[in-house]
Structure 1
Amino acid sequence: MAEPLVANPLQPNRLMSLDFFRGLTMFLLIGESTRLYEILRGAAFNGTFLGFIGWQLEHHDWNGLHFWDLVQPFFMFIVGVAIPFSVAKRRTAGAGWPQLYRHALRRSLLLLILGIGLYCISAGRLNFELWNVLAQLSFTYLVAFLLMRYPAAVQIGASLGLILLSEALYRLWAVPGFDQPFVPDRNFGSWVDMLLMGKLSHGHWVAFNAVPTSAHTIWGVVAGQWLASRAGQNKKVLVLLGLGIAAVIAGVALDPVTPIIKRICTSSFVIVSGGWCLITLGLSYYAVDLRGWRRVPRFFTYVGMNSLFIYLFCHTGAADWITGIFKPFTHFLFAWSGPEGAAAFTALFVWLALWGICYWLYRNRIFIKI
């Protein structure tokens, strides 16, 4: 029998740590659109600390883990954390299960449409692709929402079931040409892409990633319910950190058996990245909600309050045309730093301008949501 959507009533105060975590993740995502990370990976910064940062802000080629590989799990996990709070707010306003379900279904469909729409815009034609975060999130969000009616043990069990199902399909799939589980473009996920879209991703990504990474959004829901409970604040932090550290250790330990591969979201990757999600949330909750550190986190919060808008804005060429506005001036003012240095300064100014747009929206109480 299904349990109530939120087992424990929410505390009235807003979870500021979630706003910070979301904002930091989105700030990093919009930074990518400025091409700053790409510039830092260039020859001019080779062998420097900035060059090292640049490479950490790029996905690992295949087996391994860079910091940038955690950003999409962060995003999907954060969505899950927010669901119990959003549902509780709607229930307080009088919404029942039918209304909540229709809202979730509509939101899932809109995310899918927006995800596919971005591919159409970038290609300049109708284009059916399912690899970006919005298309993936449309699936993981709905799965996590439907499961949140059940106890945490059931939710976690379902998430592990999805991970094990994915592992089994990759290892046991016997279709010739797609029977090598951990080889790029020769695995079960690639077969699914050929079935759904008739093509493969140039970066070896697979749409089937939405299935195992549903665990990130499910774990986010469970973490949100935990933070919404009446448990002691210190206990909340310790549980999040303890589970996160255990997951990181387990994921790394699995690497010799099932390699950590972000591009096909292997079970070891899902577990290790999920662990980092829990650790980051735990540290954010401790610093922002328990210790009351608000000044620096507030800088990022402005971005997180309009996360969908700024994501779509940046992925439809906004950073490129803002770069065109700044470039004549920044390349003149910073010519002394060389072409790569001037390009890096330009990207920094574009990044700040994108933040400024989010700040302006926040100050004018404009929040674009679905």
Structure 2
Amino acid sequence: MDAYRGFVMTLMAAELLNFQHLHEVFPTNALWAFLAYHQSHVEWAGCSLHDLIQPSFSFLVGVALPYSMASRAALGQSFSTQFGHALRRSLILILLGVFLRSTHHEQTYFTFEDTLSQIGLGYPFLFLIGNNPRQRTSWIALVSILTVYWLAFVLYPVGPGFNYNAVGVPGNWPEFYTGLMGHFNKNSNLAWAFDTWFLNLFPREKPFLFNGGGYATLSFIPTLGTMLLGLVAGRLLRSSSSSRDLIRQLLLLGAAGVVLGLLLHLTGICPVVKRIWTPAWVLFSGGMCFGLLTLFYYLIDVRGHKTWAFPLVVVGMNSIAIYCLVHLIDRFIINSFYIHFGHGPFQVFGPAYEPLLIGIATLAVFYLILRWMYRRKLFIRI
């Protein structure tokens, strides 16, 4: 679990390698085109490897919950004590998300689509559902969340002649849908309408009209569904099933999620869109998360190949630390390299590769910080 989390956080930090720049410089190079695609989010529907970072992080919160609750129960903590901790954790995650989103603004930037805020908004509900030990309860909650969320979007009216240019969407944008799928179009859906009311309740530099990426506060509701899938996986990992049976169950659930998500998209019922966390995305990305969890479980726990995963464990055990480091001091480290060494060392392979080399050097600094914390058993937990 720590290795999987470390893999996810490394993917996030690896944005510093800036493969997109190399793709632009060498547009015919298939390798840079492939890496650039999987280091960026798709425009709307679909999925790249980069799109699996946030669902994996959310999924792993659910995986970890049964272990956390069992540990706290063993210490004799009551339900009220544990729930109080869940509420505190939720509040800290929400505020930390707002803080990180505000770092380049002149005042507090109240927005709640950040990964940490999304997890924080749904975490108390995850705890309450997870407090019931029956898997059936988790499945009922998941189906209810996805069904109600889909229905709410479908019932929100899509008016003819909507001015998409006013919400940052070009009129000739190729990602427009019609029919049921049209209710999930960018910045003209229920979640966008909610944010035009909700986010304007907070003090802002200027009124909120739309999110440029189409992200929305209400995505925390289906994100709870992703965490519930992780809860199911965590309970399976803690069960007495043999490794063979466990792998079979995890793969079956993963395949079912991917197939169901694609079917919803291909039949025109619901698109697979991460940015508004559609029900189809919950199923598709959840299926992929089951698959990745199975891969790490098989390689590390079943096959015993642990040495290669050590660097990932170092990162994964301090996931909050690396998340904050990347968002807060990446430019400071890059500027420090330039101040003390100039641009020359990073242009040894030519100017085109400078962003890649400075990114590698910055990632190395992050890893050394995390390795130092690991050796001294300094782990930031919320």
Q: Normalized against structure 2, the TM-score is what? A: 0.88
Q: CA deviation at 1:46?
A: 4.8
**1:30 maps onto 2:13 in alignment:** yes
**1:103 maps onto 2:115 in alignment:** no
Q: Which segments of 5 or more consecutive residues in structure 1 lack a partner in the other structure?
A: 1-17
**1:204 maps onto 2:214 in alignment:** yes
Separation in 2, partners of 1:121, 1:335: 30
Q: CA deviation at 1:51?
A: 2.5
The residue number in structure 2 matching 1:365 is 377
The residue number in structure 1 matching 2:324 is 312
Separation in 1, partners of 2:149, 2:198: 17
Q: 2:63 aligns with which of 77, 81, 91?
A: 81
User: CA separation of 1:46/1:107 partners in 2, compared to 1, >3 Å: closer, same or farther?
Assistant: farther
Q: CA deviation at 1:252?
A: 1.3
User: CA separation of 1:105/1:356 partners in 2, compared to 1, >3 Å: closer, same or farther?
Assistant: same
User: CA separation of 1:333/1:190 partners in 2, compared to 1, >3 Å: closer, same or farther?
Assistant: same
Q: CA deviation at 1:216?
A: 0.9
The residue number in structure 1 matching 2:131 is 149
The residue number in structure 2 matching 1:10 is none
Q: 2:118 aligns with which of 136, 139, 155?
A: 136
The residue number in structure 1 matching 2:364 is 352
Separation in 1, partners of 2:43, 2:2: 31
The residue number in structure 1 matching 2:351 is 339
Q: CA deviation at 1:84?
A: 0.8
Is the Cα contact below 8 Å between 2:26 and 2:32 reproduced in 1? no
The 3-state SS of whatever aligns with 2:343 is helix
Separation in 2, partners of 1:115, 1:345: 29
Is the Cα contact below 8 Å between 1:213 and 1:270 reproduced in 2? yes
The residue number in structure 2 matching 1:242 is 252
The residue number in structure 1 matching 2:203 is none
The residue number in structure 2 matching 1:9 is none
Q: 2:157 aligns with which of 162, 174, 193?
A: 174
Separation in 2, partners of 1:219, 1:306: 23
Q: CA deviation at 1:293?
A: 0.8
The residue number in structure 1 matching 2:233 is 223
Output one character per residue of 1:301-356: Cα deviation in whole Å (capped at 9) or x when no partner.
Answer: 1011111111112112x111111122463731342422221221111111121111
Q: CA deviation at 1:48?
A: 2.7
Separation in 2, partners of 1:85, 1:217: 14
Is the Cα contact below 8 Å between 2:59 and 2:227 reproduced in 1? yes
The 3-state SS of whatever aligns with 1:65 is coil
The residue number in structure 2 matching 1:287 is 299
Q: CA deviation at 1:160?
A: 1.5
Separation in 2, partners of 1:122, 1:296: 37
Output one character per residue of 1:15-48: Cα deviation in whole Å (capped at 9) or x when no partner.
Answer: xxx010111111111222x252443443335533
Over the residues paired in the alignment, what is the CA RMSD in angstroms?
1.8
User: CA separation of 1:141/1:40 partners in 2, compared to 1, >3 Å: closer, same or farther?
Assistant: farther
Q: Which has the higher mean CA deviation after the structures are superposed, 160-169 or 116-125?
A: 116-125
The residue number in structure 1 matching 2:3 is 20
The residue number in structure 2 matching 1:325 is 336
Q: 2:193 aligns with which of 191, 194, 203?
A: 191
Q: Which has the higher mean CA deviation after the structures are superposed, 78-87 or 115-124?
A: 115-124
Output one character per residue of 1:243-288: Cα deviation in whole Å (capped at 9) or x when no partner.
Answer: 1012111111221212211111112111100000111111111111
Is the Cα contact below 8 Å between 2:118 and 2:220 reproduced in 1? yes
**1:54 maps onto 2:36 in alignment:** yes
Separation in 1, partners of 2:227, 2:304: 27
The 3-state SS of whatever aligns with 2:8 is helix
Q: Which segments of 5 or more consecutive residues in structure 2 lack a partner in the other structure?
A: 165-179, 201-207
Q: Which has the higher mean CA deviation after the structures are superposed, 90-99 or 332-341?
A: 332-341
The 3-state SS of whatever aligns with 1:212 is helix
Q: Normalized against structure 1, the TM-score is what? A: 0.90
Separation in 2, partners of 1:92, 1:41: 53
The 3-state SS of whatever aligns with 1:213 is helix
Separation in 2, partners of 1:240, 1:48: 33
User: CA separation of 1:165/1:27 partners in 2, compared to 1, >3 Å: closer, same or farther?
Assistant: same
The 3-state SS of whatever aligns with 2:228 is helix
The 3-state SS of whatever aligns with 1:128 is coil
Separation in 2, partners of 1:339, 1:354: 24
Separation in 1, partners of 2:304, 2:272: 36
Separation in 1, partners of 2:34, 2:338: 25
Separation in 2, partners of 1:172, 1:143: 25
The residue number in structure 2 matching 1:259 is 271
Q: CA deviation at 1:97?
A: 0.7
Is the Cα contact below 8 Å between 1:73 and 1:273 reproduced in 2? yes
Q: Identity over aligned residues, as a percent?
A: 30
